Amino acid sequence: MAAESGEKWVLSVTAQTPTNIAVIKYWGKRDEELILPINDSISVTLDPGHLCTTTSVAVSPSFTHDRIWLNGKEVSLSGGRFQNCLRELRSRATDFEDEKRGIKITKKDWEKLRVHIVSYNNFPTAAGLASSAAGLACLVFSLAKLMNVKEDYSKLSAIARQGSGSACRSLYGGFVKWIMGKEDNGSDSIAVQLADEKHWDDLVIIIAVVSSKQKETSSTSGMRDTVETSALIKHRAKEVVPKRIKEMEEAIAKRDFPSFARLACADSNQFHAVCLDTLPPIFYMNDTSHRIISCVEKWNRHEGSPQVAYTFDAGPNAVLISKDRKTATLLLQRLLFQFPPQSDADLNSYVIGDKTVLKDAGIEDLKDIEALAPSPEIKENALTQRYRGDVSYFICTRPGRGPVVLADESQSLINPETGLPK
Ligand code: DP6
């Protein structure tokens, strides 16, 4: 048996997995261990070209224990969530053979073989952009490929769910629903794709990464406190979300932007309201977040119909979804007017991702930002104040595809000789 023979081979797989932003939020568990939610949720997968995790996983008879390196640093794999994912994957591993390299691994060998996992985000982890969702989904997806797990993506989503709830929605591109399920063992708490990323490709997404010095409450402990202390969350999970899920599915199917925007904004606001209804109250948004909401609300009102939807997760960053490219350029102009960069900033690192939005907005250097005029609805409200430096940077992106295997060996993060990070 190959796994015992002291052979030197290292077998590896590399995959790339997107992050996602919920437009109907998951907040609250009915089972902490299995990570089972108290309501369904719906998300948009973000283009992995701008925000994603790349993970390489390897197996070798010479590895002595399971190890993981995240963004260049080795971290412990002993946490219950990692262990649950590894156990679930190992129990579903199947026989593998590479005749050319003389590698043969049987289903039973996988129980004893140890793995190395090396993972990088293509965006700063500190920005608080759902890195755990992309990270855990990528870990599960790449290990499933390595171990020749034959289950479909919805079964893999149920494994990723046990790493981090929101991770289960990163197994698909486009628009994704996490069905809460009814079973106690979690077998029906899975993610399904509602529509792929091509279904509604007019949408353009701008993320404002908001400067913040405050240490935020983690989602895991925040939602635990909410479930224990908030009366509002019960009403939300039982009465509000089920209705919104249906309406949101319909809005996505019909590409009905006004309904999509109304539902996404209302749901983000209610999520932050249940955070305030928690004891002690949780504040994820800050003054900058509130100013961004006002800017969008005033503009939408001025136009008489929604141009842009906003949504905020467990932090102050704004995710702004505009109905089309033209609207996205107008949005970017408004954002840059209100939140110009520090005078010594570099425009190239102030607006990242899909730079064509910046170009279409007619902004080629910092002087163009200074020359921007206030938009009509801002002038009307005498709100021409500018908040320099309150946004760290903007990311322009769009709905994107699901996980993929990167077949090109040169993209592997693992040295094929040593099995260690490159
Ligand atoms: C506000 O998935 O990070 O982003 O399941 O405890 O790991 P755990 O929590 P996590 O919570 C995400 C909460 C949210 C809303 C959402 O993504 O639906």
Strands in 115-203 per DSSP E:
115-121, 175-178, 191-195
Assess whether the previous peptide bond of 416 is cis (omega < 30° from 0).
Answer: no
CB 148 within 8 A of CB 156: no
**Most confidently predicted of 127-131, 236-240, 387-391:** 236-240
Protein residue with least CA distance to atom 12, ligand 1: 166
pLDDT digits (tens, 9 = 90+) for 21-72: 999 999 999 999 999 999 999 999 999 999 999 999 999 999 999 999 999 9
Protein residue with least CA distance to atom 3, ligand 1: 219
- At 102, is the secondary structure helix, strand, or coil? coil
pLDDT interval class at 345 (50, 70, 90): confident
Look at residue 1 in the predicted model and tell me its pLDDT: 44
Residue among 223, 265, 222 at smallest CA distance from 244 = 265
261-283 exposure pattern, b = at least 16 Cβ within 10 A, e = fewer = bbbbbebbebbbebbebbeeebe
Instruction: Take residue 176 and report the two structure tokens written for it.
Output: 């994704």
131 lines ligand 1 (CB under 6 A): no
Residue 287 Cα, ligand 1 centroid: separation in angstroms?
23
Site of tokens 């322009």: 396
ipTM score of the complex? 0.99
Domain architecture of the chain: domains with CATH? 2-196+405-411 (3.30.230.10), 204-397 (3.30.70.890)
311 lines ligand 1 (CB under 6 A): no
Q: What contacts 366, CB < 8 A, 6 or more positions away?
A: 341, 343, 345, 347
Residue 164 Cα, ligand 1 centroid: separation in angstroms?
7
**The pLDDT of residue 81 is above 80:** yes
Residue 178 Cα, ligand 1 centroid: separation in angstroms?
12
pLDDT digits (tens, 9 = 90+) for 367-417: 899 888 888 887 766 667 889 999 999 999 999 999 999 999 899 999 999
Mean pLDDT, rounded, of the chain: 93
Residue among 130, 104, 149, 117 at smallest CA distance from 9 = 104
26 lines ligand 1 (CB under 6 A): yes
